[in-house]
A and B are shown apart, each in its own frame.
Chain A
Amino acid sequence: MDVTWYIVLSALLFAIGAGGVLIRRSPLVILLCLELMLNAGNLALVAFSRAHGNAEGQVFALIVMVVAACEVVVGLGLIVAMFRRRLPLDVDEMRGLRG
């Protein structure tokens, strides 16, 4: 099983996640799509770690998981705060900073 297969799969997953961020407007689903992209990056890191026979890429993947968890926690906190203030849960309506 060539490592190229895994890298191409990770590129496909990243593209799906990026398309999801572009197409969806609910902030919750956009966070989910960010998770998709981070996991695609994780798959690429682990695959490269296998290709080089070096476990340091796996440590990098674990750190990416930590960063993803932080991003999730803060993002979900923002969504709950938006919900409490009864702001619309739609990224196209949150345009107060657009100028």
Chain B
Amino acid sequence: MIYVAFFAGAIGAVGGAVAVIALRNPFYSVLALVVHLVSLAGLFLLLYAQFVAAAQVVVYAGAVMVLYVFVAAYVGAVEEPIWEPIPGQRFLAPLLGLALFVELSIAILGTGLSALDTEGPTVELGFGSPAQIGELLLERFLVVFEAASMLLLVAAVGAVVLAARRAAPPAPSPPGSPDSRGS
């Protein structure tokens, strides 16, 4: 049963990831990433990470992806040009990705970490529950928690500054019109 769940999640995650880089339209890529994230949330559940799985679905697949969908719809479908600025990029890039995977796999399968070849220790009830995660966040990792909130604030301010409408844009045109993007 657990094997079925793992392989269903793994196929969903890998299929979503491949679809993200294979689909031409960025909008469909975003939707494929949602599939990928939900599958990963299932895998997190298998690893007894309930709170991380819930946060993954609510925060990631819910909030962050909505942001992506809005920007993809705002920018519109940008077809990538056919010509290749770097000769052989389409051939070389998958090759390099494959080389990275083989290298990482050799490192993982040849590792001396003996704990990896087991299912892991039996965990107590409440492992990965919101109570335990919250206790860790507010006691052991309080500084990290505060730094993360500061980082979020800085990112929010930065996004507003970056995306704010300038007072006098060069050659103003109605935003959102299909021809507002130059070539």
Report A's interface with B, CB cutoff 8 A: 1-9, 11-20, 22-26, 28-29, 31-33, 35-36, 39, 42-43, 46-47, 49-53, 55-56, 58-59, 61-63, 65-74, 76-81, 83-90, 92
Tally of contact residues, B, Cβ under 8 A: 96
- A39–B56 Cα distance when bound, in Å, is 10
Given contacts A15-B97, A66-B152, is CB(A39)–CB(B40) below 8 Å?
A: yes
Answer whether residue B151 sits at the interface, using C-beta atoms and an 8 A cutoff: yes
Among residues of A, the one whose C-beta sits closest to the C-beta of B147 is: A63
B55 adjacent to A29 (CB under 8 Å)? no
Answer whether residue B8 sits at the interface, using C-beta atoms and an 8 A cutoff: no
Offer 10 A-B interface pairs, CB within 8 angstroms, sorted by A: A14-B104, A19-B98, A29-B26, A49-B47, A51-B115, A56-B141, A68-B60, A73-B156, A74-B158, A85-B169
- A46–B6 Cα distance when bound, in Å, is 14
Given contacts A11-B108, A89-B78, is CB(A56)–CB(B136) below 8 Å?
A: yes
B56 adjacent to A18 (CB under 8 Å)? no
B36 adjacent to A36 (CB under 8 Å)? yes
A70 adjacent to B152 (CB under 8 Å)? yes
List residues of B (4-57) whose CB comes within 8 Å of A's CBs. Answer: 6, 10, 13-14, 17-18, 20-21, 26, 29-30, 33, 36-37, 40, 43-44, 46-49, 51-52, 55-56
Shortest beta-carbon distance, A18 to chain B, in Å?
Answer: 5
Set of chain A residues within 8 Å of B86, measured between Cβ atoms: 92
B14 adjacent to A39 (CB under 8 Å)? no
Set of chain B residues within 8 Å of A92, measured between Cβ atoms: 85-86
Set of chain B residues within 8 Å of A20, measured between Cβ atoms: 17, 20-21, 97
A89 adjacent to B75 (CB under 8 Å)? yes
B10 adjacent to A9 (CB under 8 Å)? yes
- A23–B159 Cα distance when bound, in Å, is 27
